[in-house]
Amino acid sequence: MIETHDAFAPSTAALVEVERACAASAVSWATLRSLPRLRRAELLRAIAAAIREDGDTILPLAAEETRLPLRRLSAELERTAAQAELFAAVVSEGSYLEAAIDHRRDGLPELRRMQVPLGPVAVFAAGNFPLAFSVMGGDTASALAAGCSVVIKTHPDHPRTSRAVLASVHRALRSTGIPSSVVAAVSDPSAGAALVADPRIAAGGFTGSLAGGRSLFDIAARRRHPIPFFAEMSSINPVIVAPKAARNDPEGIGGLLADAILGSAGQLCTKPGVLLVPEDAHELVDVMRRRLEIADAQPMLSPGIASRFADRLASWQSERVRPLTSGMVDSNWAATATLAETTLSDLDGPVLEEAFGPAAVIARYADLKSVPPVLERMGGQLTTTFHLDREEIEEVRPLLAVAEVMSGRVLVGGVPTGVRVGWAMTHGGPYPATTAPSSTSVGAAAIGRWLRPVTWQDAPQELLPDELRDAPRHPLPRRVDGRLIA
């Protein structure tokens, strides 16, 4: 995903805004973290309800500001609400606290451990998901679930949508009696760097470009007191089609891949960007080429994204990259799809950098055995996808082993777009997919980014959090003397 949080010297307006938001966030965090966890679950459900209620206000604004189709935005709004509800379920269930009790034994002290919130979190909204990765996106929902207050750097491309969603969130906060500054926002284009540098901010979450994410990560790491910074940045999402699969179902696979390249005008972090197909996969390539060639031009999110996409396509121009379609970006920043072809050995340099728009590069392999080093060269990925026939399992196995080392999600069949928000999702991966390989920004485990463990040693019951007492009011899975009790 791409956006533009510039790491320029902040303006005075930005400094004032950041100071105000962080001061309020630090105060409201103290309230939030002292609430019982079921209150936070209730809050998340109230937010989900408020967003659904306000859909008629929010959706037209989002459509106007992003030029994304209403149908897609409507599904995204539902996903945003469902995501808040998933985190409500995560909080209620309680496993995320990793509660553990080691009773006294052999003269050793009693230990009781659980996760606590890190502190106020800075969240950077993405441009391509004005709802699901913006003001009340997954970062905000998971941070609130963890018990962290949030300061959002809103995205410059959808300011009115951001304000409308923030209003819904604040209404829900008021209805549950929680200070509305638990979710604060800053919007000055130069506020991002100052926000990450603010000593009251304890962690950061970001979805956007490699350049933007890395520059904020660097600020977080260079602070006097460094903080964790979780940036989801850049992925080319390789797809490998095995020989028999390509022969058996060129129409099906080609159609699926073409649709995934076209969806949301290719402005998805999981868009398949590099396709490795067998040498003789003429029909598969032809299906994709035709499908992409006839597709209408689609409006892109913003002139900035459109122009960066055009620049990326221009960087592919070389003797070694052959265009298969006549894709382009027009003056109304709408794009038609680009499919290009290169050789396996030329698959390097600019064609291995994310092209954020409707474009993909094909390379043909003579033998599946030549694919693993190519996957390694591609670096960290959010996803790697395989299409194979059941008879090809053993030949593909070594490729899968490489994909597991390089990616956060490995698919067999289907396409990587359309990320399921569930308990078992991983939306992450080694650098440059993210700055934190151990984390996910989608799914239940995303809450873990905003937590840290504390152990209480020999503390009396009255001084322990409810979750660690002998008889918690709201039971949860705990590990007692090494044994997990669900």
Q: Give me the active site residues, please.
A: 232, 269
The residue whose two tokens read 């499908």 is: 291
Taking CB under 8 A as the binding criterion, the range among 114-122, 274-282, 339-347, 355-363 that sits at the site for a second copy is: 114-122
Question: With binding defined as CB under 8 A, does residue 71 bind a second copy?
Answer: no
Q: Which of 71, 108, 296, 331 binds a second copy (CB under 8 A)?
A: 108
Question: With binding defined as CB under 8 A, does residue 459 bind a second copy?
Answer: yes
Q: Considering beta carbons, is residue 323 or 373 the nearer one to a second copy?
A: 373
Question: With binding defined as CB under 8 A, does residue 226 bind a second copy?
Answer: yes
Question: What is the nearest approach in angstroms of a second copy to the Cβ of residue 452?
Answer: 4
Taking CB under 8 A as the binding criterion, the range among 1-9, 126-134, 317-325, 401-409 that sits at the site for a second copy is: 401-409
Q: Which of 23, 111, 211, 344 binds a second copy (CB under 8 A)?
A: 111
Distance, CA of 482 to CA of 200 (rounded, Å): 36
Question: What is the nearest approach in angstroms of a second copy to the Cβ of residue 483?
Answer: 8
Question: With binding defined as CB under 8 A, does residue 112 bind a second copy?
Answer: yes
Structure tokens at 139: 């970062």
Q: Taking Cα atoms as reference points, which of 196, 199, 189 lies closest to residue 8? A: 189
Q: Considering beta carbons, is residue 49 or 459 the nearer one to a second copy?
A: 459
Asked if 152 and 123 touch (Cβ cutoff 8 Å), the reply is: yes
Question: With binding defined as CB under 8 A, does residue 119 bind a second copy?
Answer: yes
Question: With binding defined as CB under 8 A, does residue 470 bind a second copy?
Answer: no
Question: With binding defined as CB under 8 A, does residue 75 bind a second copy?
Answer: no
The percent helix, strand, coil of the chain (3-state, each to 5) is: 45, 20, 35
The residue whose two tokens read 């080694």 is: 430
Q: Which of 435, 441, 447, 467 binds a second copy (CB under 8 A)?
A: 435
Asked if 231 and 250 touch (Cβ cutoff 8 Å), the reply is: no
Strand 239-241 versus strand 229-232 pairing type: unpaired
Subset of residues 379 to 398 that bind a second copy, contact rule: CB under 8 A:
379-380, 390, 393, 396-397
Distance, CA of 400 to CA of 39 (rounded, Å): 43
Q: Which of 163, 247, 452, 469 binds a second copy (CB under 8 A)?
A: 452
Question: What is the nearest approach in angstroms of a second copy to the Cβ of residue 209?
Answer: 16
Distance, CA of 288 to CA of 253 (rounded, Å): 9
Subset of residues 405 to 434 that bind a second copy, contact rule: CB under 8 A:
405, 407-414, 420, 422-426, 428, 430-432
Q: Which of 11, 31, 74, 95 binds a second copy (CB under 8 A)?
A: 95
Q: Taking Cα atoms as reference points, which of 115, 106, 101, 105 lies closest to residue 459? A: 101
| Strand blocks (E) in 196-289 | 203-207, 229-232, 239-241, 274-278
Question: What is the nearest approach in angstroms of a second copy to the Cβ of residue 12?
Answer: 29
Q: Taking Cα atoms as reference points, which of 435, 382, 7, 380 lies closest to residue 229? A: 435
Q: Considering beta carbons, is residue 227 or 321 the nearer one to a second copy?
A: 227
Q: Considering beta carbons, is residue 158 or 214 the nearer one to a second copy?
A: 214
Question: With binding defined as CB under 8 A, does residue 146 bind a second copy?
Answer: no
Question: What is the nearest approach in angstroms of a second copy to the Cβ of residue 435?
Answer: 6
Strand 274-278 versus strand 359-365 pairing type: parallel
Q: Which of 161, 440, 447, 467 binds a second copy (CB under 8 A)?
A: 440
Question: With binding defined as CB under 8 A, does residue 304 bind a second copy?
Answer: no
Burial 188-206 (b: 16+ CB within 10 A, else e): bebbbbbbbbbebbbbbbb
Coil, strand or helix: which one is 450? helix
Question: With binding defined as CB under 8 A, does residue 208 bind a second copy?
Answer: no
Subset of residues 34 to 53 that bind a second copy, contact rule: CB under 8 A:
34
Question: What is the nearest approach in angstroms of a second copy to the Cβ of residue 217?
Answer: 7
* Spatial CB neighbours of 206, under 8 Å, sequence gap ≥ 6: 5, 123, 124, 212, 213, 216, 217, 229, 230, 231, 232, 233
Q: Considering beta carbons, is residue 282 or 369 the nearer one to a second copy?
A: 369
Distance, CA of 317 to CA of 314 (rounded, Å): 5
Subset of residues 160 to 179 that bind a second copy, contact rule: CB under 8 A:
none
Asked if 139 and 208 touch (Cβ cutoff 8 Å), the reply is: no
Structure tokens at 228: 């964790």
Q: What residues form DSSP beta bridges with 341?
A: 322, 362
Report how many residues bind a second copy under the rule CB under 8 A: 82
Asked if 132 and 165 touch (Cβ cutoff 8 Å), the reply is: no
Question: With binding defined as CB under 8 A, does residue 454 bind a second copy?
Answer: yes
Question: With binding defined as CB under 8 A, does residue 448 bind a second copy?
Answer: yes
Q: Which of 75, 116, 344, 352 binds a second copy (CB under 8 A)?
A: 116
Q: Considering beta carbons, is residue 204 or 408 the nearer one to a second copy?
A: 408
Question: What is the nearest approach in angstroms of a second copy to the Cβ of residue 324?
Answer: 28
First to last CA, the chain: 38
Taking CB under 8 A as the binding criterion, the range among 40-48, 68-76, 225-233, 338-346 that sits at the site for a second copy is: 225-233
Q: Which of 16, 27, 89, 344 binds a second copy (CB under 8 A)?
A: 89
